[in-house]
Structure 1
Amino acid sequence: MNMIASKLNSADIPQVQEPRVLESGEADAPSALHTYLRIALRWRWVIIGATVICLMLGLIVTLLMTPKYTAAATIEIAREAEQVTKFEGVEREVGAADQEFYQTQYGLLASRTLAERVANALNLVDDQEFFEMFGAPDDPAFELENGRYPASGRAKRQRVAGETLLDNLSIDETRLSRLVDIRFTSPNPDLSKRVANAWAENFIQTNLERKVQSTAYGREQLQRQLAEYKDRLDASQRQLVTYASTEEIINLPGQTQGAPERAIIVDNLAAFNTALSEAEADRIEAEARFRLAAKRGATTEALSNPAINELRARRAEMAAEYQRMMVRFEPGYPAAAAIQSQIDDLDRSIEREERRVTDVLDASYRQAIQRRNELQAKVEGLKQDYLDLRRRSIQYNIFEQEVDTNQALYDGLLQRFKEIGVAGGIGVNNVSVVDFALTPQVPSSPRLLINLMISLLAGLMIGAALAFALEQLDEAIADPTEVERRLGLPLLGSVPRTMDETPKEALLDRKSELFDAYLAVYTSLGFTTEHGVPRSFAVTSTRPAEGKSTTALALATTLARAGKKVILVDGDMRSPSVHHLGGVDHDRGLSNFLAGDDNIDNLTFVMNDLAITAMSAGPIPPNAAELLTGNRLSVLVERLCELYDHVIIDSPPVMGLADAPLIASRVEGAIYAVESHGIRSSQVKTALNRLASANVRVFGCVLTKFEARKSYYGYGYEYGYAYGREEKEAEAA
């Protein structure tokens, strides 16, 4: 027994792993489109309901709204009035200034003054029907006296009438054109037409009046400003001339038209600086020739000197004659000595000529140095003079800038004065009516189709928001794809809900969907350990009635049909259930062994219909956790592993009890049953954390009571469970 226990502890029981929740990116996360589609399918009735409600509200509101009519008058606003005094007739290009101009015109069209002027022109200030149409405020100015409004409240009514017109007016400019639409909306089509046309006409009139007023006022203002700026210009010019004379600042005109003036000293400095550069180049060249003259005959002048070349030629002839004589005579021979004397004289003559050439080069070199030094001293002096001129020119430039500024201001005012003088006698307006408003025949609002489209869009948005909110609040595990994503556990399989038969009856039918599902779980369980299906494991869940007992019974039955010798132990000593499946009582079982009874044969019974052996929970003890804290359960597992191929323990739920962690820690690991649509994932995570704290290895999760028709993609699972069954039933029929 010790050897078997050692094998179980060392080989059969893998290293315990704590269950954990997968981080984002560890598992294959579904795409965003897949997630949105899943949420939409799950909460489709919420989205449909919100959409239908919004559509009904939109329809009701549309039918209850008062029809309104919109009339539109079109005007053209030119950049400025055409200048009849000009013959070319060239129009300005559109730019930033044009945009500013048009925005100003749009603001003037929507001004309060123009609105009140239109209200007075149409006599709307005292029109009772007008104020009743738009709703008159509760004010003494609108209380009738002898069937008419009081005269004392006219100012108040004028302001209210203008605000009412502005509230129902819209100014719509046409892009890339000068056309502007003036639209007015009211329940009365004739009133809409009259207001739109009156608005255009009064805007033209106010524009003309504003031009006349601004022209007269502008001429007076410009005349005063011209006199003032003329005095400023004269004063600044006198100041500039006086300062230039005092500081002896003399500037020459620019070399080209429009070029700035330049000082005389600048030209002098440039000229002397150029001469200095040439003198420096001459000095470098003279120095190079002088350095070469240190070698006798090495200079270009020496090589090209005719006298030196002639002397060298004669010496060469005499040297050749001397060499011929040396063939026959001794050096002391009189004729040879005479030739040698001539050669020495020629050498002295060549040396004198070369020394004369060297003296000439030396004189040229010294001359170049002297010229360079004189020019450099002159340039340095000019530099100092220029810096002094720059210091004296600072104030001169300030005075000159002041003159230029005053001149530019004066020229601008003079030009503006001429323009105003020309435009003052011209009455051409830059605003004209293109189309007058017509009486609208069809209401502009409400628009049933547009309102229904808006209601539909609002309903879909509200429904989507509700669906996302409900999705965030709902923690239920809806289908198998969410098990690994939410719990971080591998999915061993999903088990359908049995409707017309008990789980035991379904397991006895090898063609049932329940049996097929647990067969898939058994197949997945074979890959959880190195030796295949674990020798001993517990089946538990978060809370009761999640299908853990059915899972334990089904796995035991599946293993037995695979030829394995299996025992099912009822580990739930608080609410036992295995004895009901075998049709026995639980007066002897697990609690007896934990209490000290070692006779296992007396504690088990055989379930012949399922071909497995079972052990009931035994008598319910006062405290089941105390029995599980000892080593008796480990001894039981070891002894059962000697007798059976697999030991399966139906464990109690995890939450609220200490039994499940104690039992699962005595076996190789645990299989976790999770009820589909029945429990929150946060509760399951809490329970898994309890198992992890007890160093329990969780092999995987079984999703129980799964209903394919309630799943978002349930048709895929339903097809898997029922594949081939319908064809066989049709053939049998």
Structure 2
Amino acid sequence: MNQAQSVRQFTSGSVALLPADAFGGQEEQVSLVRQYTRIAWRWRKVIAGSIAAALLAGIIVTLLMTRQYTAQSTIEIAREGNAIVNIQGVERDATAGDQEFYQTQYGLLKARSLAERVATQLRLVDDPRFFEMFDVDPITLFPAGDRGGSAGDRARRIRVAGALLLDNVDVSPLRASRLIDLSFTSPDPQISAKVANAWSANFIQATLERRYEATSYARQFLENRIGQLRGRLEQSERALVNYASQQRILSVGTEKDSNSILGTNLETLNNELLKATADRVQAQARYEETRGRSGETSEALGNAALNTLRSKRAELAADYQRLLLQFKPEYPGARAIATQLAQLDRSIAREEQRVGGSLEGVYRGAVERERALQERVQQLTDDVLDLRRRSIQYNILQREVDTNRLLYNALLQRYREIGVAGGVGVNNVSVVDDADVPERPSSPRLVLNMILALLAGSAIGVMLAFYLEQTHESIDDAEEVERSLGVPLLGTVPKLTGRAPIDALRDRKSPLVDAYFAIQTSLQFSTESGVPRSLAVTSTRPAEGKSTTALALATLLARSKRKVVLVDGDLRSPSVHHLIGTGHERGVSNYLTGTDDLGSLVVHVDEFDFDAITAGPIPPNAAELLTGARLPQLIDALLRTYDHVIIDAPPVMGLADAPLIGTRTEAVVFAVESHGIRAGLARTALQRLAAANARIIGVVLTKFEPKRASTGYGYEYGYGYGDASRGAARA
């Protein structure tokens, strides 16, 4: 890449010496900082004026403000009152509901009722000076000739006084503590201290009153409820007694005890019945056993008397048998023994009969006892069932009595507890520090007001700067050209004060010449062949410096030993003839209308050593002349003789001449007046040229004032550099 291409690409903003992401977000940050700095520098006077006005306003407001005095008291609010009557402990542990509790307390401290209470206690509602301190006209609150007023007037004053107190009181909880600062601000230090102390005292009193009222309401409610339950309990007990009397239910102990006695008796009788049945079965068996064989029963065999008789009979029977072995039955001895045996047999039969009769008696007795026990068990069973049947309703009535008695005892106990707690009267709010009468005013604060005014003025100034930056479209800086217009910047031309441009061009050491020399250098590297041979200079509107730019480029090119011709292409309002000091009787319009003698139209400018063609007579149809084929022929004819053809074209806006000329030349230089032309108009003009396929090579920023630039540095040094040394050299 040659040097011309490098400079041209750098001028057009297309060269990137490093990759786009080499610096990353740092370039964006630097760009933003530069942009904000540029905006602040451009509108520095607006920002400074806004700050100055805000500071002045702050001083005036501070001097006009009424001195305010703030008195502060400190109170402590515990979560609940100390549990004096509680066995577990004195202090209550913190819970998750503390935040809700303290927020409620803060709201109560700002309650309207508390403010009105303080105002009434301090008699502020009857003091006209109190209302005057807060800019409230007392005439509207105190009827003429009546200091007290009616009840309605006093109620109105109470509401107004309470609102004034609420507007000037401040509740500030201390973080991570149970302490709260109560402060009141007013123009009177005595009033401030009184209100702050009265506020704390009345808050404590109001807290106690709310507790007492709550306890009183609870006691009244419990008294009514206890009376109702007492009546219900008496009614239920009366119904229970009446039912027991009607049903002849005797309750020595509890129902469980009565059922246990009956159950025990029934169980005992059942056991006796089982035993009697067993005895009857045993007696019946023995009795059945004696029937037909009374002597063979176990009772008979075990009877001692019967056994004795049988033993004697056996002995006699043995003796009788021995005698029969020797004697006959008629033997007296044998008959005596036989008589004894008969007598023993009768005795044994009588004894066996007696034993059998006793067994029958035992059996009959067992049967009778069993029957009697059965009847008693059946009767007891009927009694138990009847008792259970009657006990159902009795138990229902008894449960109702127990329930009513339980509720009555519980409410009675709670009533006694509330009475004890209400009598203790412990408060959870206490005053830590009373408010003292302030010796110094709390406001206004000059330093704080100045800081706030400085911040407000800075904020307003910055907002105004951004607003003006958005609404301001003039180009004040060389860096804005490419960003606003999208066209490369060829150079900037300083504004001349007290000196004509033609005079500045005569002085080769003037800043104007240095500026246009830099522009010529940029043009030198704009194309591969150097400065374009045919070049049109135009602008958005008149008086932007396009004619001066065309003259300066022609002058500098001529001084670099180039053959240059300056053509006045503005056929409506020509100006080249004024710059070179000649007339415009013959010129471009003559050639465009058919004159072929081009040499007769050329005027040599000896002072700057270049040729010029004026506009000639002003035609009525300039656009039609420029549309024809004569303009390209003119440029081609001049290029055969001259190295460069520079055309001073008319402005773009409102005319079709400049686009027609731009399409016929190799390049177009667009002059933009700094601090004057709106960027939107310049963009529109450039779009018209681009739509006509004109090649816009760059922009020249004319009438530039470094002091009005957004950056405020750099340019003035370059334009004036070397003047003193050159003057010394000339000397």
SS of residue paired to 1:31: helix
Q: Distance in 1 between matches of 2:498 and 2:151?
A: 89
Alignment of 1:644 with 2:615, yes or no, is: no
Query: Relative to 1, partners in 2 of residues 1:616 and 1:539: Cα closer, same or farther, differing over 3 Å?
Result: same
| Change over 3 Å in CA distance of 1:417–1:173 after alignment to 2 | farther
Tell me the SS of whatever aligns to 2:544. coil
2:570 alignment partner in structure 1: 572
Q: Which residue of 2 aligns with 1:681?
A: 679
User: Paired residue for 1:43?
Assistant: 43
Q: Tell which deviates more after alignment, 84-93 or 629-638.
A: 84-93
Q: Does 1:532 align with 2:530?
A: yes
Deviations 1:684-707 (Å, cap 9, x if unpaired)? 112112212211111010001112
| Equivalent residue letter for 1:194 | K
Letter matched to residue 35 of structure 1? Q
CA distance in 2, matches of 1:35, 1:570: 40
C-alpha contact 2:670 2:699 (8 A) present in aligned 1: yes
| SS at 2:120 equivalent | helix
CA pair 496-418 structure 1, distance change in 2 beyond 3 A = farther
624-633 or 581-590, larger mean C-alpha shift: 581-590
Match of 2:620 among 619, 622, 631: 622
Instruction: Provide, for residues 240-260 of structure 1, a one-character-per-residue CA deviation record: whole Å limited to 9, x for no partner.
Output: xxxxxxxxxxxxxxxxxxxxx
Aligned to 1:483: 481
Which residue identity lines up with residue 439 of structure 2 in the other structure? Q
Q: State the Cα distance separating 1:421 from its structure 2 match.
A: 6.8
1:123, distance to aligned residue in structure 2 (A): 2.2
Shift of 1:432: 0.5
Residue 638 of structure 1 deviates from its aligned partner by 1.2
Q: Where does residue 34 of structure 2 map in the other structure?
A: 34
Shifted more, 209-218 versus 163-172: the winner is: 209-218
Aligned-pair CA distance for 1:130: 2.4
3-state SS in 2 of match to 1:664: helix
TM alignment of 1:664-703, pairs within 5 A: 664-703=662-701
Q: Which has the larger radius of gyration?
A: 2
Letter in 2 for 1:483: V
- Residue 165 in structure 1 maps to residue 165 in structure 2: yes
Letter of the aligned partner of 1:645 in structure 2?
A: D
Report the equivalent of 1:729: 727
| Amino acid across the alignment from 2:598 | I
Quote the residue 1:508 is aligned against.
Answer: 506
Hey, what's the Cα distance between the residues in 1 that align with 2:150 and 2:607?
A: 104
1:458 matched to 2:430:
no
Contact 2:670 2:700 in 1 (8 A): yes
Report what 2:654 is aligned to: 656
Using the TM superposition, give the Cα deviation of residue 515 of structure 1 relative to its aligned residue in structure 2, in angstroms. Answer: 1.4
Residue number in structure 1 paired with 2:594: 596
Matched AA of 1:156 = R
Tell me the amino acid that sits aligned with residue 132 of structure 2: E
Give a deviation string over 1:16-41, Cα, whole Å, max 9, x none: xxx99xxxx99x98723222222222
Question: Following superposition of structure 1 onto structure 2, how do residues 34-73 of structure 1 map, counting pairs within 5 Å?
Answer: 34-73=34-73
Q: Which residue of 1 aligns with 2:703?
A: 705
Change (3 A) 1:134 1:579: closer
Q: Secondary structure at the match of 1:142?
A: coil
Q: Shift of residue 137 of structure 1?
A: 5.2
- Shift of the 589–166 alpha-carbon distance from structure 1 to 2, 3 Å rule, reads same
Counterpart residue identity of residue 517, structure 2: L
Q: Which runs of 5+ in 2 are unaligned?
A: 1-11, 14-19, 22-26, 233-409
Q: Secondary structure at the match of 1:540?
A: strand
Greater mean deviation of Cα atoms: 468-477 or 124-133: 124-133
Which residues in structure 2 correspond to 1:192-591 (within 5 Å)? Answer: 192-218=192-218, 423-591=421-589
Task: Report how many aligned residue pairs link the two structures.
Answer: 530
Counterpart contact for 2:567–2:615, Cα < 8 Å: yes
Structure 2: which amino acid aligns with 1:129? R
Contact kept? 1:606, 1:614, Cα under 8 Å: yes
The separation in 2 between residues aligned to 1:566 and 1:717, in whole angstroms, is: 29
- The 1-side partners of 2:156 and 2:502 are apart by 89
Distance 1:137 1:222, change over 3 A: farther
Contact 1:126 1:149 in 2 (8 A): no
**Which residue of 1 is the match for residue 113 of structure 2?**
113
- Relative distance call for 1:140 and 1:724 in structure 2 (3 A) is closer
Tell me the equivalent position of 1:183.
Answer: 183
**Alignment partner, residue 370 of structure 1:** none
Q: How does 1:133-152 map onto structure 2 within 5 Å? A: 133-136=133-136, 142-145=142-145, 147-150=147-150
Identity %: 58
What amino acid is aligned across from residue 101 of structure 1 in structure 2? F
State the distance in 2 between where 1:566 and 1:524 align.
18
Partner of 2:597: helix, strand, or coil? coil
Residue type of the alignment partner of 1:55: L
Deviation readout 1:525-567 (Å, 9 max, x if unpaired): 1232232211111011111111111111111222222232221
SS in 2 for 1:703: strand
Residues 593, 88 of structure 1: alpha-carbon distance in 2 compared, 3 angstrom cutoff = same
Residues 645-702 of structure 1 deviation map (CA, whole Å, 9 limit, x = unaligned): 1111111111111111111111112100011112111111121122122111110100
Residue-by-residue CA offset, 1:490-535 (whole Å, 9 max, x unaligned): 0000011233443233223322211111111111112322322111
The Cα shift of 1:580 comes to: 3.2
Q: Which moved more, 1:91-100 or 1:51-60?
A: 91-100
Q: Cα–Cα, structure 1 residues 128 and 599, in superposed 2: closer, same or farther, change >3 Å?
A: closer
Retained in 1: the 8 A contact 2:142–2:153?
Answer: yes
Work out whether residues 538 and 670 of structure 1, in 8 Å CA contact, stay in contact via their aligned partners in 2. yes
Does the Cα contact within 8 Å between 1:568 and 1:647 map onto a contact in 2?
A: yes
CA distance in 2, matches of 1:418, 1:720: 101
Q: Residues of 2 paired with 1:416 and 1:728: CA distance?
A: 111
Between the aligned partners of 1:446 and 1:140, the Cα distance in structure 2 is: 29
Distance in 2 (alpha carbons) for counterparts of 1:468 and 1:415: 76
- Give the secondary structure class of the aligned counterpart of 2:474: coil
Aligned counterparts of 1:700 and 1:504: Cα–Cα separation in 2: 23
Q: Residue 417 and residue 648 in structure 1: after superposition, are their counterparts in 2 closer, same or farther (change >3 A)?
A: farther
Matched residue of 2:668: which SS? strand
CA contact (8 A) 2:148 2:154 kept: no
Letter in 1 for 2:551: L
Q: Aligned partner of 1:212: which letter?
A: Y
Aligned partners of 2:528, 2:225: CA distance in 1, in Å?
A: 103
Q: Aligned-pair distance for 1:483?
A: 0.5
The structure 1 residue matched to 2:603, chosen from 602, 605, 621, is 605
Give 1:554's aligned amino acid.
A
Measured after TM superposition, the shift of residue 611 of structure 1 is: 2.1
**Paired letter, 2:615:** A
Q: Distance in 1 between matches of 2:129 and 2:520?
A: 86
Instruction: Report the CA distance between 1:221 and its aligned residue.
Output: 5.1
SS of 1:116's partner is helix
SS of the equivalent of 1:648 reads strand
The 3 A distance-change label for structure 1 pair 414 and 529 is farther
Deviations 1:41-68 (A, max 9, x none): 2222222222222222222222222212
Q: Which runs of 5+ in 1 are unaligned?
A: 1-18, 232-411
Q: Is the CA contact 1:542–1:655 (under 8 Å) kept in the aligned structure 2?
A: yes
Q: Show the counterpart of 2:632.
A: 634
Residues 1:450 and 1:547: Cα distance change in structure 2 (over 3 Å) = same
| Residues 136, 142 of structure 1: 8 Å contact kept | no
Contact 1:141–1:152 (Cα < 8 Å) also in 2: no
Q: Look up the equivalent residue of 2:663 and give its one-letter code.
A: S
Which residue is equivalent to 1:78?
Answer: 78
Equivalent position amino acid for 2:721 in 1: Y
1:443 partner SS: coil
Asked whether the 8 Å contact 1:141–1:150 carries over to 2, the reply is: no
Query: In 1, distance between residues paired with 2:411 and 2:509?
Result: 105
- CA shift, 1:727, in A, is 3.6
For the residue of structure 1 that corresponds to 2:672, the secondary structure is strand
Distance 2:494 2:94 in 1: 75
Counterpart residue identity of residue 713, structure 2: Y
